[in-house]
């Protein structure tokens, strides 16, 4: 009996050491994506203009890193807050912890090198080696063309400096450990030519991280086989909104849409509040985190390329109830 008890103690000690070592590795050795590159970007007018387009209308850096007016449909950025940060993500919207978007104006980034910004955007690792939660879709940005990332960096360097105090994040267990396992080295690609419509459309769909919002999730991970089929829930003050199915399914998705309808849908929201009267305010039934006004600034040719690509995605029959009012 004593030998059995000793054996149990030894097993418990071994397990304690193994688990402790694993947790220590995750907590202190990760993330591991390599050093920031030695990089100095030439901020030409052309590069800044391209970066402005991407950051405001495709990758939507400005959407999350500004303060949004949730009294207006789709919560467009509040004028004068661009890049200031402070948008809050917490348990009231189903997030396991509390995170605030950072200030990306020169007030906060003046001591960052271009290489440190490049590593952050493409791998999710900060200047001091801290792992970002992938609320910022850096796994998608890490699959973009490096020139587009250079353009974004050149643009955000031009944002007016705005001071702000951003609180430290607080992540619940086990996310405070898991977060360190998410960053990975970038897998950059060359941007397809716009004339190659399908590949270019796929490139833009990745850059816009459409799959992240338009896929149902389970414990923070996309449900395999349900990519783009909608159903991810977003808790809003007036209720819960679910992302729509954007696969080519003709009954529950966009299979019966035309390119003109798809483009028109975005363009109709290009101006804040330019929607049906009954959905312009959060105290009415419907509100959405989908940044329509920002995506509405994309060119018609880019929107058309995205639609062409989405029509090639495997149709998935998945009926989504778009909105459930708060009781």
pLDDT in tens, 108-146: 999 999 999 999 999 999 999 999 999 999 999 999 999
Q: Is residue 240 in a domain?
A: yes
Kindly give the residue spans of alpha helices, DSSP state H, lying in the chain.
2-24, 45-57, 61-64, 106-109, 114-123, 138-141, 146-156, 175-178, 197-207, 210-213, 259-267, 292-295, 300-310
Kindly give the residue spans of alpha helices, DSSP state H, lying in 215-311.
259-267, 292-295, 300-310
The pLDDT value recorded for residue 277 is 35
Query: Tokens 């039934």 map to which residue?
Result: 285
Query: Tokens 């929607």 map to which residue?
Result: 275
With cut-offs at 50, 70 and 90, classify the pLDDT of residue 37: very high
The pLDDT value recorded for residue 31 is 84
Q: Is residue 1 in a domain?
A: no
Whose CA is closest to 308, among 208, 200, 209, 225?
200
| 215 and 148 both lie in a single domain | no
| 184 and 317 both lie in a single domain | no
- Residue-wise pLDDT for 188-198, tens only, equals 999 999 999 99
Q: Is residue 84 in a domain?
A: yes
With cut-offs at 50, 70 and 90, classify the pLDDT of residue 28: low
| 198 and 73 both lie in a single domain | no
Q: Is residue 197 in a domain?
A: yes
With cut-offs at 50, 70 and 90, classify the pLDDT of residue 272: confident
Predicted confidence (pLDDT) at residue 279 exceeds the cutoff of 80:
no
The pLDDT value recorded for residue 12 is 55
Predicted confidence (pLDDT) at residue 302 exceeds the cutoff of 50:
yes
> Mean of the per-residue pLDDT values for the chain?
89
Helix 197-207 vs helix 300-310: crossing angle, to nearest 10: 100
| 138 and 42 both lie in a single domain | yes
| 266 and 180 both lie in a single domain | no
Query: Tokens 């009267």 map to which residue?
Result: 277
Name beta bridge partners: 233.
242
With cut-offs at 50, 70 and 90, classify the pLDDT of residue 13: low
| 91 and 177 both lie in a single domain | yes
Query: Tokens 């050491």 map to which residue?
Result: 17
User: CA 113, CA 321: separation in Å to the nearest integer?
Assistant: 45
Q: Could you tell me which residue, 194 or 69, shows the higher pLDDT?
A: 194
Q: What percent of the chain has pLDDT over 70?
A: 87
49's tokens = 């203009």
Residue 239 phi, psi (nearest 5): 155, -165
| 126 and 230 both lie in a single domain | no
**CA gyration radius for the chain?**
22
3-state secondary structure of 323: strand
Identify the domain boundary among 190, 206, 225.
190
> Residue 99: which H helix or E strand, with range?
strand 97-100
The pLDDT value recorded for residue 278 is 43
Whose CA is closest to 309, among 205, 192, 213, 229?
205
User: CA 199, CA 215: separation in Å to the nearest integer?
Assistant: 21
> Residue 221: which H helix or E strand, with range?
strand 221-222
Least confident of 17-21, 183-187, 235-239, 274-278: 274-278
Identify the domain boundary among 147, 171, 190.
190
| 87 and 206 both lie in a single domain | no
| 212 and 300 both lie in a single domain | yes
In this prediction the pTM is: 0.90
Q: Could you tell me which residue, 69 or 5, shows the higher pLDDT?
A: 69
Q: Is residue 24 in a domain?
A: no
User: Structurally, how many domains does the chain consist of?
Assistant: 2
Q: Is residue 12 in a domain?
A: no
Identify the domain boundary among 190, 211, 245.
190
| 156 and 42 both lie in a single domain | yes
Predicted confidence (pLDDT) at residue 275 exceeds the cutoff of 90:
no
Q: Is residue 180 in a domain?
A: yes
What is the extent of the structural domain holding 250?
192-327
Q: Is residue 19 in a domain?
A: no
Predicted confidence (pLDDT) at residue 254 exceeds the cutoff of 90:
yes
| 201 and 234 both lie in a single domain | yes
Where on the phi/psi map is residue 29: left (φ > 0), alpha (ψ -120 to 50), or beta? Answer: alpha
| 74 and 182 both lie in a single domain | yes
User: CA 241, CA 273: separation in Å to the nearest integer?
Assistant: 18
Q: What percent of the chain has pLDDT over 90?
A: 77
Predicted confidence (pLDDT) at residue 282 exceeds the cutoff of 50:
no
């Amino acid at each position: 009996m004593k030998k059995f008890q000793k054996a149990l103690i030894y097993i418990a000690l071994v397990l304690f050491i193994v688990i402790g070592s694993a947790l220590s590795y995750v907590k202190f050795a990760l993330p591991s994506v390599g050093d920031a590159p030695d990089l100095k970007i030439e901020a030409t007018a052309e590069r800044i203009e391209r970066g402005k387009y991407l950051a405001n209308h495709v990758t939507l850096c400005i959407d999350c890193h500004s303060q949004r007016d949730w009294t207006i449909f789709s919560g467009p950025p509040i004028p004068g807050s661009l890049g200031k940060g402070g948008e809050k993500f917490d348990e009231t919207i189903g997030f396991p912890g509390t995170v605030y978007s950072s200030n990306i104006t020169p007030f906060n980034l003046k001591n960052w090198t271009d290489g440190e910004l490049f590593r952050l955007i493409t791998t999710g690792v900060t200047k001091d080696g801290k792992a970002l939660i992938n609320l910022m879709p850096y796994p998608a940005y890490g699959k973009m063309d490096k020139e587009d990332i250079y353009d974004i960096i050149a643009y955000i360097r031009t944002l007016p400096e705005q001071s702000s105090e951003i609180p430290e994040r607080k992540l619940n267990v086990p996310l405070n450990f898991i977060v360190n396992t998410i960053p990975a080295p970038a897998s950059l690609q060359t941007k397809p030519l716009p004339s190659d419509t399908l590949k270019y459309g796929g490139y833009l769909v990745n850059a816009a991280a459409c799959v992240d919002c338009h896929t149902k999730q389970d414990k923070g991970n996309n449900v395999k086989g349900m990519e783009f089929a909608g159903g991810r829930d977003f808790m809003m003050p007036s209720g819960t909104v679910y992302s729509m199915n954007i696969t080519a399914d003709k009954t529950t998705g966009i299979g019966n849409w035309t390119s003109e309808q798809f483009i028109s849908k975005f363009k109709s929201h290009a101006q804040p509040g330019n929607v049906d009267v009954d959905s312009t305010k959060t105290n009415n039934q419907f509100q959405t985190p989908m940044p329509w006004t920002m995506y509405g600034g994309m060119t018609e040719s880019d929107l058309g390329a995205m639609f062409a690509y989405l029509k090639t995605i495997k149709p998935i029959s998945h009926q989504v109830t778009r909105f459930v009012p708060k009781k």
